[in-house]
Chains A and B, each alone.
Chain A
Amino acid sequence: MRDARKLVLGMLALVAAMALTACGSGSGTTGETAEIVSGDFTPVADAPAGYSEVSGEADIQRPENGGTVVSLRVTGLEPNTDYTAHLHTGGCDQADPGGPHFQFKKGGSEEPPNEIHLEFTSGADGEGKARVSTDRDVPVGEAGSVVIHSAEEESHHEAAASGTTEAETVMASRFVHEGEHHGGEAQPHSEMIACAELEGAAARNGEATAGEVGGEVPTIEVRDGEPVGGVQTLEFSAGEEIRFRVSSDAAEEIHIHGYDIAKDVPAGGTIEFDFPAELEGIYEAELEGLGVQIAELRINP
């Protein structure tokens, strides 16, 4: 009887010890603190007149309990004017500064909460501040820049200029409505003013790319409905960017399971996937139409 209890206790102690060891090593990897990525605003190449002195800073913070806070602080704007800023995926140094808007669900809604928009009004001294928080994690590698636009639409501008705040709100909401209905360009008449490239993000992107074989983005070649060289295994670590290209001799839809991302590759064309490794585990990439697996994505913790 006593022997039995000793045995059970001993085994419990062992299992507990293992659990502790396990937890100890596990928590080490999850104890990340607030991550900060920031960048300085500079006027874009074709900024409208009067904005050459714009400067300031944008940053992204990750509170310890998760989520994302994007904030900006900028000077040199017109006094008492409405502005909008968006989080973009690309850097500032390109023909279309910032590139496409950051979206949590790619190809989804072009409005918050799927995108990150910051709307603000400058003070009498031409200084503006804005801050927006979301409970979702913006993958650091995906945030390329914050771009400030002039207020939404010309008509909106006029209303704002007339000084009636009520009219302003009405016009603004009508605009948002139209934007949703058309589902297209959100700011047909707005002008780009300044762009802040998020430096940490760029550095991280560089790291992720350098980590790939030969410093290049891996490409999976599809020929006759099969991956050349068999199903490719691509390994990533959770939190980094998953980047790879697929080229195909025929038009195919490439589907990434689990992440549920799909993209069409035209016949003879190449497409690039670029999304954050949010989910751990092994996921398949397949030719959706044929049901043929072309790659296995391994996302290690």
Chain B
Amino acid sequence: MSFLPLAHALASRQDLPVPAWLFAWGASIVLVVSFFALAAGWRTPRFEQLHERPLGAEVSRLLLGAPAQALCGAIGVFLLGFAVYAGLEGTEAPDRNFALTFLYVTCWLGFPFFSAILGDLFRPFNPWRAIGRAAGAGFALVAGQRPAHAAYPERLGRWPAAIGLLAVVWLEVVWGKAGSGFDPQTVATAALVYSGYTLAMMAVFGVEEWCEKGEVFSVYFGMFGRLGIFGSRDGRLERRRPFSAATTWATIPGSAAVVIASIATTSFDGGQEGAFKDGIESMTGWIEDLGFSVLTSLRLSSTIFMLLCFAGVGLVYLLGVRGMRTVPGAPPTEKLRTGFAHTLIPIALAYLVAHYFSFFVFQEQAQFGFLLSDPLGTGTTDLFGTAAWEVDYKVLSANAIWYVQVAALITGHVIGLMLAHDRALVYWPDYRNATASQYWMLAVMVAFTCFGLYLLSVANG
């Protein structure tokens, strides 16, 4: 059977699989920590209130005032426009064009990483929100009234964002990696199409409504921002207890699908050349036998595996929910399903860090090196004198990467357990029942974390 190699558009380096001894260590620590957590859980919720403390009025005015908002929005619009321009006009070489690294590395990975620490950083820079708000303000000025919007169908919830999230990753790791397709022009065109779609949806349902529920990037980055320590309310910047804002995130239907899509897509990408490689190859062979071309077969089988990941991760979570339902005094399944969705956010973040941390560190050297000075990849531009800076792969040793990967998974596991324990205390007034329900969530978390470790240990196997 002939097989197309998976050309890696951006990365010329991949991580070595985590060695067996470290895998064993990681898995044992996960188990020990988990049983420890069961034995020593606290009895009153600690994260369910935001515990926020407003920052000084002047800081808030400076950072959240109209001039700052306009400036951040303008920066966002400029950068998106520039990335699209570079994608359409610049070199076709993916690694030499500003567009791909900026959109898929700096933004797609950078916003989750930094928002998880600092709070939602994307919202002020969201280019579509900025355009939508400016358009709304313009409309109000001309028409003398605020634009009217259709009511958003409540049942749709965050499902548009979950599906969009699958699509964004699909473009990169399925359409893009299967030999061709992940070129700057395609991504720039996709960005334009997405911009048109988003602005249309904002016009129909309202800017803030769509950002809260349907806009992929707002929902996805905002989800990680809930873990961070800064937030804003009524124009006032506030400091809050870490992770506490996550507890109010999943109240909108479909939120669980977003976080499950995040875990699933990262799992798929992490496993497509390791754990799932043989499966994808066999399925590609079967599809080829049906008369499809190799490329089409590979894309189809990869798509099916990505959806299987989504179904698999979702199933594990739903089994945990079903299990908790059997504990005396449990709330209805529906409530449990949305009620524990936020406890998976730290797991999703841990997966992201474990799989993309080294890629991010290496690729950002390109971003702030040659891509910054020569964004179109012409080879003749040197805007900031950094056009000759190449990626130094020595900044991270293989050992350092392994420890960060395993530490990320364990930390995510612990935070997920803490959030789940907290939520159980709210749902089950009886402490014994609350603890009993957490055997189930514990099993879910152990499954995800050990699966994450497993993916790392057979990466590119």
Contact = CB atoms under 8 A, between A and B. Distances in A.
B94 to A, nearest CB: 11
Contacts of A10: 36, 40
Contacts of A292: 5
B13 A18 contact: no
B43 interface: yes
Interface stretch (A19-27, A57-65, A267-275): A19-27
Interface in B1-19: 2-3, 5-8, 12-16
Given A15-B411, A21-B25, A231-B5, A279 B41 contact: no
Contact of A282 (B5, B6, B13, B22): B13
A18 B398 contact: no
B43 A282 contact: no
Nearest to B44: A1
Contacts, number: 95
Interface residues of B, number: 38
Interface string A58-76: 0000000000000000000
B13 A257 contact: yes
Contacts of B381: none
Given A280-B397, A281-B16, A282-B13, A18 B29 contact: yes
A230 B400 CA distance: 31
B29 A14 contact: yes
A3 interface: yes
Contact of B40 (A3, A29, A226): A3
B398 A300 contact: yes
Contacts of B29: 14-15, 18
Nearest to B391: A258
B444 interface: no
A258 B40 contact: no
A11 interface: yes
A11 B37 CA distance: 8
Given A231-B5, A293-B5, A300 B403 contact: no
A7 B15 contact: no
A301 B399 contact: yes
24 contacts: A1-B44, A3-B40, A3-B42, A3-B43, A4-B42, A7-B41, A14-B32, A14-B36, A18-B406, A18-B410, A19-B403, A19-B407, A22-B399, A26-B400, A230-B3, A258-B12, A281-B15, A281-B16, A281-B398, A284-B8, A286-B5, A300-B398, A301-B397, A301-B398
Given A260-B12, A283-B13, A298-B16, 6 more contacts: A3-B40, A7-B37, A15-B407, A26-B399, A238-B398, A291-B7
